[in-house]
């Protein structure tokens, strides 16, 4: 049996049986769990989100301080280094690209007339890592969502010729008839880019739907792009940026004004195009215009660390299998000031997630009985720049990646109010659903469905780097069922996403309910324990889309 502390016992009763919380906790769990410390979660969060760490941008001094802190904590808890050379770190090489806005141009030609779009107002140019300059001059073809999905019987490119042309497509949109997670996969930039290249296009030009404008307003796009910290790609051994080894030269994104100019005097105007796409029946057609697009960009090399720490399993055979917990350390760094504050502290996103995971690591390390499988704690860099630290680890694993049975990712623990539920994004794809339900009922939570299916969260956090390696993976978070009378936790969260998320306001002044974070940490502990002790290895559901796409050949 694990240690029982009297203090915890009484706290557990207060926490779990009192009217402000959800269901009852399993008495075995209550008795066998090392005391979870809300104050430790608060203390880690306050350190990592302090102004002194300057928003933990990858490669910055603040990020180095953060990973040193996490390494020190892991070592003090008794975790072993499982990074490069048996240490705690894995160094990730990056190139950072900052677009030279004045030298980046977009000319739209219609017959004899040319219109110059204005950088920042009409268009932006993300992702200029391949070279310090580039250009494309070509005809434009509108390809709707830009999706080719044979297993869904769907192809936006059918009957279109985009060879040597620029494919115009909707940013982060895909056929609404698809299952939400499948829809999110096909909506992703990475898929659309590869598909455009596979069809012979030399550029991809993105337009934005009104729904996307609500989700991420243009001002937010500009703000994030101008924070150079976000504009990264990891470098392959040959020194080339990863993910850009195809024929695409340019991939700009248009604001509404730019998109209006694009579709002016065409067979269908912008509003008709957007309305049809929203209904799931996009027109696809060659535009009468062509575009000449040029960019200049400044490059610099950056290094930043992942932290990898291990608790070895107790079973002589199963210890070579791993349950992988992950959380990203980085945030946006220093950027455009909002109300006089320019430090993007990332307190909830994701100092809080790291803090919760540190407490879970401590609990495992302090338990006298270790689970059979090993537990790997991975604190990654450059999530905000596109899941890069996790993608690098998945591509350069310091343990055999085929031996990772599951990934549990923690990102943005938004305990704004006490809740009685947890959410496990993506658990419907694998046996992890059962593990989540078991751990939730052991720790007095219910499991709620994804409250934001339209946001495609399944493809937007670090666990997706492991899905692509065929590993059953989930993102877990506190839920949306408030236990405070009259408080609507979902409304609070939605409000938070619009007013605080990715702004300098996500700092230590956020009203985090650390008791709820601690209850969530207890859930994570039992989730990890359950997966690590299960007689069966976690597996994808039969015929699951992601299992079939990425896990064929895995045992
Ligand atoms: Zn974030």
pLDDT digits (tens, 9 = 90+) for 483-526: 999 999 999 999 998 899 989 999 999 999 999 999 999 999 99
Q: Does residue 110 register a pLDDT over 70? A: yes
**Residue 400 C-alpha to ligand 1 middle, in angstroms?**
28
Q: Does residue 33 register a pLDDT over 70? A: no
Going by pLDDT thresholds of 50, 70 and 90, the confidence category of residue 7 is: very low
Q: Do 452 and 443 contact (CB within 8 A), yes or no? A: no
Beta-bridge partner residues of 307: 89, 379
Cα distances (angstroms) measured from residue 346 to each of 212, 275, 350, 477, 511: 23, 36, 6, 16, 14
Cα distances (angstroms) measured from residue 306 to each of 76, 392, 421, 435: 18, 9, 30, 27
Q: Do 512 and 415 contact (CB within 8 A), yes or no? A: yes
**Residue 344 C-alpha to ligand 1 middle, in angstroms?**
10
Q: Does residue 15 register a pLDDT over 50? A: no
Q: Does residue 21 register a pLDDT over 50? A: no
Q: Write the Ramachandran bin of 270: left for phi over 0, alpha for psi from -120 to 50, otherwise beta.
A: alpha
**Residue 542 C-alpha to ligand 1 middle, in angstroms?**
32
**Residue 261 C-alpha to ligand 1 middle, in angstroms?**
32
Mean pLDDT of 260-281: 97
**Residue 206 C-alpha to ligand 1 middle, in angstroms?**
22
**Residue 461 C-alpha to ligand 1 middle, in angstroms?**
9
pLDDT for res 453: 82
Mean pLDDT of 288-310: 97
**Residue 246 C-alpha to ligand 1 middle, in angstroms?**
28
**Residue 384 C-alpha to ligand 1 middle, in angstroms?**
5
Distance, CA of 523 to CA of 517 (rounded, Å): 10
**Residue 210 C-alpha to ligand 1 middle, in angstroms?**
22
Q: What is the CA radius of gyration of the chain?
A: 24
Length of the chain, please? 555
What values do phi and psi take at 521, rounded to 5? -60, -40
As given in the structure block, the two tokens for residue 161 are 């010729």
Going by pLDDT thresholds of 50, 70 and 90, the confidence category of residue 27 is: low
Going by pLDDT thresholds of 50, 70 and 90, the confidence category of residue 18 is: very low
**Residue 421 C-alpha to ligand 1 middle, in angstroms?**
22
**Residue 383 C-alpha to ligand 1 middle, in angstroms?**
7
What confidence tens digit (pLDDT) does each residue in 444-482 have? Answer: 999 999 998 877 888 889 999 999 999 999 999 999 999
pLDDT for res 150: 95
What values do phi and psi take at 133, rounded to 5? -150, 155
pLDDT for res 31: 59
Going by pLDDT thresholds of 50, 70 and 90, the confidence category of residue 555 is: low
**Residue 551 C-alpha to ligand 1 middle, in angstroms?**
27
**Residue 330 C-alpha to ligand 1 middle, in angstroms?**
9
As given in the structure block, the two tokens for residue 448 are 């709620």
**Residue 445 C-alpha to ligand 1 middle, in angstroms?**
25
**Residue 411 C-alpha to ligand 1 middle, in angstroms?**
8
**Residue 435 C-alpha to ligand 1 middle, in angstroms?**
26
Beta strands 404-410; 322-328: pairing state: parallel
As given in the structure block, the two tokens for residue 22 are 């959800």
Sign of CA dihedral 493, 498, 502, 506: negative
Q: Does residue 5 register a pLDDT over 80? A: no
Going by pLDDT thresholds of 50, 70 and 90, the confidence category of residue 23 is: low
pLDDT for res 524: 97
Q: Does residue 6 register a pLDDT over 60? A: no
Q: Any idea which of 10-24, 164-178, 355-369 has the lowest mean pLDDT?
A: 10-24
What values do phi and psi take at 129, rounded to 5? -85, -20
**Residue 274 C-alpha to ligand 1 middle, in angstroms?**
28
Contacts of 492 (CB under 8 A, 6+ apart): 416, 417, 482
pLDDT for res 34: 58
Angle at 478 between CA 406 and CA 211, to 5 degrees: 95
**E-strand stretches of 182-271:** 203-207, 232-234, 253-254
Q: Give pTM, 2 decimals.
A: 0.90
More confident residue, 201 or 230: 201
**Residue 349 C-alpha to ligand 1 middle, in angstroms?**
5
**Residue 492 C-alpha to ligand 1 middle, in angstroms?**
18
Distance, CA of 447 to CA of 435 (rounded, Å): 11
Percent of the chain exceeding pLDDT 90 equals 83
Mean pLDDT of 390-396: 98
**Residue 503 C-alpha to ligand 1 middle, in angstroms?**
10
Q: What is the mean pLDDT of the chain?
A: 92
Q: Do 432 and 355 contact (CB within 8 A), yes or no? A: no
């Amino acid at each position: 049996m694990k240690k029982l502390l009297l203090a915890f016992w009484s706290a557990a009763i207060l926490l779990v049986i009192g009217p402000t919380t959800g269901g009852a906790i399993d008495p075995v769990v209550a008795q066998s769990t090392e005391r979870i410390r809300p104050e430790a979660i608060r203390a880690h969060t306050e350190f990592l989100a302090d102004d002194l760490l300057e928003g933990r941008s990858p490669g910055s001094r603040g990020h180095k301080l953060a990973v040193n802190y996490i390494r020190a904590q892991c070592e003090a808890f008794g975790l072993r280094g499982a990074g490069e050379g048996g240490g705690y770190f894995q160094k990730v090489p990056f190139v950072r690209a900052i677009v030279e806005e004045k030298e980046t141009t977009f000319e739209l030609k219609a017959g004899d007339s040319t219109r110059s779009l204005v950088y920042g107002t009409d268009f932006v140019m993300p992702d200029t890592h391949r070279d310090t300059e580039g250009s494309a001059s070509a005809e434009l073809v509108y390809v709707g969502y830009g999706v080719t999905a044979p297993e869904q019987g769907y192809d936006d490119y059918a009957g279109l010729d985009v060879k040597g042309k620029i494919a115009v497509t909707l940013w982060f949109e895909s056929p609404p008839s698809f299952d939400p997670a499948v829809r999110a996969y096909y909506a992703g930039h990475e898929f659309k880019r590869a598909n455009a290249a596979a069809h012979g296009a030399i550029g991809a030009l993105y337009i934005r739907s009104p729904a996307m404008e609500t989700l991420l307003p243009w001002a937010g796009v500009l703000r994030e792009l101008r924070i150079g910290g976000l504009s990264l790609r990891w470098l392959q051994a040959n020194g080339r940026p990863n993910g850009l080894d195809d024929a695409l030269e340019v991939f700009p994104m248009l604001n509404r004004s730019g998109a209006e100019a694009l579709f002016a005097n065409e067979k269908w105007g912008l509003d008709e195009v957007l309305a049809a796409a929203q209904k799931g029946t996009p027109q696809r057609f060659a535009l009468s215009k062509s575009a000449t697009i040029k960019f200049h960009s400044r490059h610099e090399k950056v290094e930043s660390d992942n932290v990898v720490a291990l608790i070895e399993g107790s079973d002589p055979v199963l210890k070579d299998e791993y349950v992988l917990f992950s959380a990203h350390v980085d945030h946006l760094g220093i950027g455009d000031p909002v109300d006089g504050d320019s430090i993007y502290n990332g307190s909830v996103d994701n100092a809080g997630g790291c803090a919760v995971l540190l407490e879970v690591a401590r609990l495992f390390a302090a338990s006298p009985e270790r689970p059979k499988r090993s537990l790997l704690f991975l604190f990654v860099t450059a999530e905000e720049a596109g899941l890069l630290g996790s993608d690098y680890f998945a591509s350069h694993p310091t343990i055999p990646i085929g031996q990772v049975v599951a990934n549990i990712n923690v990102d943005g623990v938004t305990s704004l109010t006490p809740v009685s539920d947890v959410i496990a994004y993506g658990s419907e794809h694998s046996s992890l659903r059962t593990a989540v339900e078991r751990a939730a009922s052991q720790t007095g939570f219910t499991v709620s469905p994804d409250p934001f299916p339209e946001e495609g969260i399944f493809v937007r956090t670090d666990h997706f780097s492991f899905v692509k390696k065929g590993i059953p993976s989930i993102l877990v978070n506190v839920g949306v069922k408030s236990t405070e009378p009259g408080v609507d936790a979902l409304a609070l969260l939605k409000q938070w996403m619009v007013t605080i998320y990715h702004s300098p306001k996500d700092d230590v002044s956020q009203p985090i309910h650390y008791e709820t974070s601690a209850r969530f940490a207890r859930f994570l502990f039992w989730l990890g324990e359950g997966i690590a002790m299960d007689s069966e290895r976690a597996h994808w559901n039969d015929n699951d889309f992601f299992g079939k796409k990425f896990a064929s050949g895995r045992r």
